[in-house]
């Protein structure tokens, strides 16, 4: 999945977001599931004049559960979480449940982002990753030229 949608106004930009916008969200084939047969977290991607904002819905996690890496303009967000239900010392197990959750999502970053300034925070079940644009990629406001 990529971060920029190609438009006719910017034909030089690669076609980054078509995979995201062209996906049939009602098609629940294996590509919407991780290797552990759990669903992948839902993602929102927004673009502002200064940055891209990626939000992953991951309730029940803690910020220490996530791993975020950038390698060759590929942003990878992954998590592994192992949950063990505790019991007291002298108890006999009638039933004991283990839970193991993991996922990995990758995003192709455009050349116009500043990889060194990417930041992330996790609050209220949503992981928010902010990917700032380079200064030369930011949209400049319209400048009126005075005629002399």
Q: What residues does each domain of the chain span?
A: 18-135
Q: Which of 74-88, 98-112, 132-146 has the lowest mean pLDDT?
A: 74-88
What is the per-residue pLDDT for 36? 45
Q: Are 40 and 33 in contact (CB under 8 A)?
A: yes
pLDDT at 96 over 60: no
Average pLDDT over all residues of the chain: 76
82 vs 107 pLDDT, higher one: 107
Closest listed residue to residue 66, CA positions, set 85, 30, 57: 57
If one counts every other C-beta atom within 10 angstroms of the C-beta of residue 41, the result is 19
Right CATH number for 18-135 from 3.40.1350.10, 3.30.930.20, 3.90.870.20, 2.60.40.790? Answer: 2.60.40.790
In tens, the pLDDT along 27-66 reads 555 455 444 445 678 899 999 989 999 999 988 888 888 9
- Find which of 4-8, 128-132, 134-138 is predicted with most confidence, using mean pLDDT: 128-132
- Which residues does 63 contact at the CB level (< 8 Å), separation at least 6? 121, 122, 127
pLDDT at 146 over 60: yes
Closest listed residue to residue 2, CA positions, set 15, 53, 10: 15
Q: What is the pTM of this model?
A: 0.61
What is the per-residue pLDDT for 68? 94
pLDDT at 92 over 90: no
């Amino acid at each position: 999945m990529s971060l920029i949608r190609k438009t006719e106004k910017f034909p030089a930009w690669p076609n980054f977001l078509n995979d995201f916008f062209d996906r049939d969200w009602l098609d629940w084939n294996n590509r919407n599931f991780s290797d552990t047969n759990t669903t992948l977290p839902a993602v929102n991607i927004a673009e502002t004049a200064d940055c891209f904002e990626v939000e992953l819905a991951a309730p029940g996690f803690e910020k220490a559960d996530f791993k975020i890496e950038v390698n060759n303009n590929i942003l990878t967000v992954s998590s592994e979480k192992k949950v063990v239900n505790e019991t007291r010392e002298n108890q006999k197990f009638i039933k004991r449940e283990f839970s193991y959750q993991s996922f990995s999502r990758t995003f192709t970053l455009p050349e116009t982002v500043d990889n060194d300034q990417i930041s992330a925070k996790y609050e209220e079940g949503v992981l928010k990753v902010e990917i700032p644009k380079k200064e030369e990629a930011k949209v400049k406001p319209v400048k009126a030229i005075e005629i002399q």
